[in-house]
Structure 1
Amino acid sequence: MIDHLSLGVRDLAASRRFYDAALAPLGYRRLSTCDDSLGYGADGVVLWLLQTAHPVAADPRSGLHLCLRAPGRTAVDAFHAAALAHGGADNGAPGLRADYGPDYYAAFATDPDGYRLEAHVA
């Protein structure tokens, strides 16, 4: 249903470091680089990061949550480690989430702008 998603970011260079590292274990890479935007995906861009003219951090009250599929539990672990090592913050360590399903394995992080990200495998 959704073709792509765009997020406004305050510091495109910081976002590039974070997303290059955090998305690589999930099989995504930077496919587009411009002065004011970055595009990530596997076969085509599905996530755009846009340098905003009026930078504002993500509103944690908005409920916005971006969940990405991972190819396996090792990838979920690597996503979380890379996110924390490249400017992100922990928002839930890798592990089983029995409330979501008996085999639902996920990790949660926030990016440098405060957007909430999840990587999971079920």
Structure 2
Amino acid sequence: MLHHISFGVSNIERAAAFYDAALAPLGYVRVWEDLRPGEMDQAVGYGIAGGGDKLALKFCPEGQRPPGPGFHLALAAPNRQAIINFHEVAIQHGGTDNGSPGLRPHYGPHYFAAFVIDLDGHHIEAVFNSPE
């Protein structure tokens, strides 16, 4: 259903460094960039190598606010270890823990997830929902 989603970020270089690190364990990479230091309208896109972007970061230095309560972005992970690595790396790169890696049986018997808040306040989840 979704083609991609975009987040406004207050510092594109800092946000790109965070997402480069945090998304790598999930198998996502920077698939394009339009970085021009000091200029407006900068952006970076992430997805599967060789494909298009599914997440874009847009430089919005003025008035950037994350979506309100109830919104978060859930990213598919290839396995449980990738989620553990995602959470660890995201925290190491300045993210805030919002739910450590583990089973969430209230979502289903195999629902394994971790939650972080990025440097601009966006809520991110990594999830694997299959028996391992």
Q: 1:42-61, aligned counterparts within 5 Å?
A: 42=48, 43-59=51-67, 61=68
The whole-number CA distance in structure 1 between the counterparts of 2:27 and 2:87 is 14
TM-score (norm 2): 0.87
RMSD: 1.1
CA contact (8 A) 1:18 1:83 kept: yes
Q: Is the 8 A contact 2:7 2:66 kept in 1?
A: no
Q: CA deviation at 1:53?
A: 4.4
Query: 1:38: how far off?
Result: 0.4
Query: Which of the two has greater helix per residue?
Result: 1
Q: Hey, which bits of structure 1, 4+ residues long, moved more than 3 A?
A: none
Other-structure match for 2:5: 5
| Structure 1 Cα separation of the partners of residues 99 and 93 of structure 2 | 16
Task: Tell me, in whole angstroms, the C-alpha distance in 2 between the residues paired with 1:21 and 1:53.
Answer: 22
For 1:66, give the aligned amino acid: L
Identity of aligned residues (%): 46
TM-score after normalising by structure 1: 0.94
Q: Which sections of structure 1, spanning at least 5 residues, go unmatched?
A: none
List runs of 5+ in structure 2 lacking aligned partners.
Answer: 36-41
Write out aligned runs for 1:66-105 (5 A). 66-105=73-112
Structure ID, larger Rg: 2
CA distance in 2, matches of 1:76, 1:115: 17
What does residue 38 of structure 2 align with?
A: none
